[in-house]
């Protein structure tokens, strides 16, 4: 499947996407808020293959998609939504973006599209996410798409010589529906007025 937005195409991950992912995941700006100090080829190959394999799970519960530019197909990041393992009504989103494309609103656009897909097509009641509390840009993405900060886990992670807080975010379907413009986002079965579009892969 593909999700098309105003400036992006979110497509299924492919095995040969790993070199692009390896390159941007070794950027110091990307690594700043992660436990890793570098990302090796075998680790990234396994990571990309895991995302590819999720496509074939039955029933499918995880939709992790490549963020691409429609004009030339350049892969600039990954974004997705996953049903919680313990129930059918809740999901969480995650995203990562090549630092060369930060500051252009792409992460917000992709995250908003997968949240819409979760509520309108997967029928979720609640969508959640989390981020490192020092990663203000990621927190702002979650806030811009309408998520509310629901908690702060103080110093719950330790790496790179210090302790880090984690911010917890969430949104309910009725809160999503009340956002300006949300009414224009319809189910994938009727795209005439939608600001995103879901297409089945060939």
Across 1-20, average pLDDT: 97
Closest by Cα among 15, 12, 40 to 26: 40
Q: Which domain covers residue 89, as residue numbers?
A: 2-199
Instruction: Give, for 152, the enclosing helix (H) or strand (E).
Output: strand 148-159
The pairs formed by 148-151 with CB atoms below 8 angstroms and a separation of 24 or more are: 148/175
What is the CATH classification number for the domain harbouring 180?
Answer: 3.40.630.30
Q: What is the mean pLDDT of residues 164-183?
A: 89
The answer to whether 176 and 182 have CB atoms below 8 angstroms apart is yes
Contact of 197 with 3, CB cutoff 8 Å: yes
| pLDDT number for residue 197 | 55
Query: Which of residues 75 and 192 earns the better pLDDT score?
Result: 75
Tell me what pLDDT residue 198 has.
Answer: 55
Other CB atoms within 10 A of residue 101 CB: 16
> Contact 159/125 with Cβ under 8 angstroms?
no
Q: Under a CB-based contact definition with an 8 Å cutoff, are residues 159 and 174 in contact?
A: no
Rounded mean pLDDT, 18-39: 97
Decide if pLDDT at 188 tops 50.
no
pLDDT beyond 70 at 45 = yes
Count of domains for the chain: 1
- What band does 118 get if pLDDT is binned at 50, 70 and 90? very high
Contact 147, 169 (CB under 8 A): yes
pLDDT class for 180, splitting at 50, 70, 90?
confident
Q: Which two tokens stand for residue 36?
A: 């890793």
Structure tokens at 44: 């990234």
């Amino acid at each position: 499947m593909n999700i098309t937005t105003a400036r992006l195409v979110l497509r299924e991950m492919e095995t040969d996407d790993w070199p692009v992912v390896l390159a941007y995941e070794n950027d110091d700006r990307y690594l700043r808020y992660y436990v890793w100090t570098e990302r090796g080829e075998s680790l990234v190959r396994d990571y990309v293959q895991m995302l590819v394999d999720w496509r074939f799970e039955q029933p499918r519960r995880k939709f992790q998609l490549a963020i691409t530019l429609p004009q030339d197909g350049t892969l600039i990041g990954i974004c997705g939504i996953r049903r919680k393992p313990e129930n059918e009504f809740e999901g969480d989103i995650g995203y990562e973006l090549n630092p060369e494309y930060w500051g252009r609103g792409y992460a917000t656009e992709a995250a908003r599209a997968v949240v819409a897909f979760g509520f309108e097509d997967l029928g979720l009641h609640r969508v959640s996410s989390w981020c490192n509390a020092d990663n203000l840009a990621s927190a702002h993405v979650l806030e811009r798409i309408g998520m509310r900060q629901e908690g702060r886990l103080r110093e719950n992670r330790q790496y790179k010589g210090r302790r880090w807080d984690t911010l917890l975010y969430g949104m309910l379907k009725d809160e999503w529906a009340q956002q300006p413009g949300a009414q224009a986002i319809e189910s994938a079965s009727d795209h005439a007025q939608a600001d995103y579009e879901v297409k089945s892969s060939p």
